[in-house]
Amino acid sequence: MKRALLSVTDKSGIGAFAKELEDLGYEIISTGGTLKTICDYGVNAKSIEEVTEFPEMLDGRVKTLHPMIHGGLLYRRDLPEHVKTVEEYGIHPIDIVVVNLYAFEDSLKNKKPHAEMIENIDIGGPSMVRSAAKNYKDVLIVTDPSDYDRVVELLKNGLVDMKFREEMAMKAFSLTAYYDSMIARYFASYTGKQSNTFTIGLKEDSTLRYGENPHQRAMLYSDNFVDGLLSDYEQLHGKELSFNNLNDLNIAVELAQSFVKDGVTVTVALKHATPCGVGMGESVYDSYNKAYQADPLSIFGGIVACTGTIDLDTAKLMNEIFLEIVCAPDFTEEALEELKKKKNLRILKIDFSKETLDMDLKYINGKVLIQDRDFVEKEGFDIVTIKEPTAQEKQDMLFGMKVCQYVKSNAIVLVKNGVTMGIGGGQTSRIWALNSIRSNHPDRDFQGCVLVSDAFFPFSDCVELAKEMGVTAIIQPGGSIRDQDSIDKCNEFNMSMVFTGIRHFKH
């Protein structure tokens, strides 16, 4: 008689599936809670103990780890010596294995204590999955409840071919690899140590319409080890998010979140992965209006992230232009009703209280670069000029440095009274980055602005242009062999300059 072994943590649909297998002539073997579930469904199932003639022991840690089970899974039906061995020891074949694993991931999300985490590391389940998947030519491995109906249909019609068996084996090994990656990362976090191998398990969320361009395929996966800013956002309205939407959204919310701990209200406007306007205000309305006025041209078709609750007046102001996404920790009912008048506007509810992921990963051709995120903030100032910055200029310097960290290098940001007056980034020359600000805002009064640079000035030309534009204070990392040239120019122009000693390249 054909036999199927069922042992699942996720019991959705298992009763009906077991009944279908029984009706197809399979003898059902099962364990613990799964056995009770399928018996309650009316299936005549046999316990593991009846097969192994050995009781479960050690609080259930040992039940399927037995030659009567793994022998039935691993022996090759096409090798006479294998067949002879199992017959000698009275081992019967197992033809289908249906297993999913202990809910380690749920325990991780719920921040269970260490001892409970250890007990939720499945041993017997992955062992059976891997045994069956290795011997896929003879044993059909099923690990995903969404495959139950398909398996039944193929079995009924005699269409379980080698291609399907290989597909199921692929899914099985993907499951155990993902599962083990979560455990490995948990232990790395728990011990504070890192092995010379690093595994990241990702779980599919959805297929995106396309990637950065329509001819590129794209998928969205979740890293469920991380409880990040975008792990569980709530979309309240609008079309599905695109690849570019998600990439831009991530930058906007990270930048906005960097101000949350300061207890200030900030709005970030972003376009094509680059901040175009950031405003700090006394209210959400005030901060949004400032972010809008910072660059009313670029914000069109962009993304807006606010750190406070969006009210009706702010929503009305937002609806005056086309925006792709508006995200905030909350919305008043009236604001939500107003924003929903734009059919395609994506409205997202984001929990800004979460910590931003501390790892930055870049996949290059055959290699992976991993670094710490650029979270370092300078506590003090190294004033290198005769003139010292005013209290307001110091505040603008700190504000601008946060923004500058999210602008592509070479990056220059001009700030005045908690509002970006100009953002220049992605240039191969620092002077070009500053020049682009003046070119993009030819009628803007930059008098009294603070200039923020992500890296040192190799020449004094930026100081000279900054003076011409009306900048009164500069903050930059310092560290050039020609630092003194820029310091001397600032002293000549009666400008203040501060060195941070910390560079903020973003490529």
Of the candidates 434, 467, 432, the residue with the CA atom closest to the CA atom of residue 452: 434
- Looking at residue 288, which CATH number applies to its domain? 3.40.140.20
Whether 128 and 22 share a structural domain: yes
Tokens of 77: 């039906």
Whether 166 and 256 share a structural domain: no
**DSSP track, 120-152:** T--SHHHHHHHHHHHTTTT-EEE--GGGHHHHH
Percent of the chain with pLDDT over 70: 97
Which residues does residue 416 pair with via DSSP β-bridges, in sequence order? 419
**What domain range is 167 assigned to?**
3-191
What was the pLDDT predicted at 276?
Answer: 95
SS3 243: helix
Percent of the chain with pLDDT over 90: 72
- Specify the DSSP element, H or E, that contains 278: strand 274-281
What was the pLDDT predicted at 360?
Answer: 86
Q: State mean pLDDT over 464-488.
A: 94
Give residue-wise pLDDT tens across range 312-348. Answer: 999 999 999 999 999 999 999 999 999 999 999 999 9
Given 19, 82, 109, 134, which residue is catalytic? Answer: 134
Whether 24 and 142 share a structural domain: yes
Give residue-wise pLDDT tens across range 25-73. Answer: 999 999 888 999 999 999 999 888 777 766 676 666 666 778 878 888 9
- Looking at residue 172, which CATH number applies to its domain? 3.40.50.1380
Asked if 483 contacts 456 with a C-beta cutoff of 8 angstroms, the reply is yes
SS3 380: coil
What was the pLDDT predicted at 507?
Answer: 85
114 is catalytic: no
Q: State mean pLDDT over 389-396.
A: 95
Q: CA 300, CA 283: separation in Å to the nearest integer?
A: 22
Whether 461 and 340 share a structural domain: no
What was the pLDDT predicted at 59?
Answer: 64
Give residue-wise pLDDT tens across range 228-274. Answer: 889 889 999 999 999 999 999 999 999 999 999 888 999 999 999 99
Given 2, 272, 341, 362, which residue is catalytic? Answer: 272
What was the pLDDT predicted at 471?
Answer: 96
What was the pLDDT predicted at 225?
Answer: 87
Residue 211 is assigned to a structural domain of this protein: no
215 is catalytic: no
Whether 126 and 72 share a structural domain: yes
End position of a domain, from candidates 294, 328, 349: 349
Give residue-wise pLDDT tens across range 142-197. Answer: 999 999 999 999 999 999 999 999 999 999 999 999 999 999 999 998 998 888 98
Question: Does the pLDDT at position 98 exceed 90?
Answer: yes
Give the contacts of 413 (CB within 8 A, at least 6 positions apart): 400, 403, 404, 407, 420, 422, 423, 424, 451, 452
Asked if 454 contacts 506 with a C-beta cutoff of 8 angstroms, the reply is yes
End position of a domain, from candidates 141, 174, 191: 191
Whether 58 and 115 share a structural domain: yes
Strands 382-383 and 367-372: unpaired
End position of a domain, from candidates 171, 191, 211: 191
Q: CA 153, CA 141: separation in Å to the nearest integer?
A: 15
Cis-peptide into 410, omega within 30 deg: yes
Give how many domains the chain has, as a whole number: 3
Tell whether the torsion through CA atoms of 396, 398, 403 and 404 is positive or negative: positive
